Amino acid sequence: MMENKWFWRKYSNAIAAVSFLTIFLLTETKAQKFPSDLWHEGKIVLLAGDTLRGSVKYDLQQDLVQYGVANERTTAFSARKVLFFEIYDASVRRYRQFFALPFTTTSGYKAPVFFELLEEGKMTLLSRESVEYRTYNSPYYMGSYSRLVLVYKYFFLDESGNISEFTGNKNDLLNLMNKKSDEVEKYIKANKLRYEDKYDFARIVAYYNSLFGT
């Protein structure tokens, strides 16, 4: 009997922490919604020239956009059939535009895929989203856990129409900005911007573009 009491005193905190983490992860997974779950007011402009206005839902991992209106079936379009689409994202209170652009895929051939346009100018910044499992260290017990998170990848579109993926390295970004890099770095520090944040990154590129005037 004494051994049981000793066991519970020693491990009760750990057991409680594991139970709490399990409940937390289950609740978060149920509550969490990703872009492919959400409808927005918007429009889709098809390659054929038609413009569809209504409810729009997108999935960049599948390169699909869905269109729906009240009491009608939804219709899905691949990036091959779409010129661009636009949504009003109430969660960030802004309009967002996505374009179908030719891009060399991992399989080695070029095909249209959807990119979100974040900033256009001397340097044009694009992004794509994906849902991936990421591993985190647990603050409640020894070990780690995995959960689904929304991940952003960034790309640059040059004046010749070539798209290259951003390495994620700050020095590589500043090197691309060449003679303007010192001014941009001062702007980043003064405004406490992080290029890991999508809208901060867009602000950084917008500032760089502004240095060239109109």
| pLDDT value for 137 | 74
Strand order in the sheet with 40-46: 75-78, 64-68, 51-59, 40-46, 82-89, 94-104, 110-119, 124-137, 144-157, 163-165
Residues spanned by the domain of 15: 1-31
8 within domain boundaries: yes
How far apart CA 146 and CA 31 sit, in angstroms, is 16
The domain tally of the chain equals 1
How far apart CA 199 and CA 214 sit, in angstroms, is 22
198 within domain boundaries: no
Phi, psi of 125 (to 5 degrees): -105, 130
Q: Give me the residues paired with residue 135 across strands.
A: 146
For residue 59, what is the enclosing H or E element? strand 51-59
Per-residue pLDDT tens listing for the chain (214 residues) = 555 555 445 555 544 444 444 544 444 444 578 888 999 999 999 999 999 999 999 999 999 999 998 767 899 999 999 999 999 999 899 999 999 999 987 777 889 999 999 999 999 999 999 888 777 676 666 677 678 889 999 999 998 889 999 999 999 999 999 999 999 999 999 999 998 899 999 999 999 999 997 5
Q: What is the pLDDT of residues 65-113, one digit of tens each?
A: 999 987 678 999 999 999 999 999 998 999 999 999 999 877 778 899 9
20 within domain boundaries: yes
Is the pTM higher than 0.85? The answer reads no
| pLDDT value for 140 | 63
120 within domain boundaries: no
The answer to whether residues 46 and 82 touch, using CB atoms and an 8 Å cutoff, is: yes
β strands within 123-176, DSSP E: 124-137, 144-157, 163-165
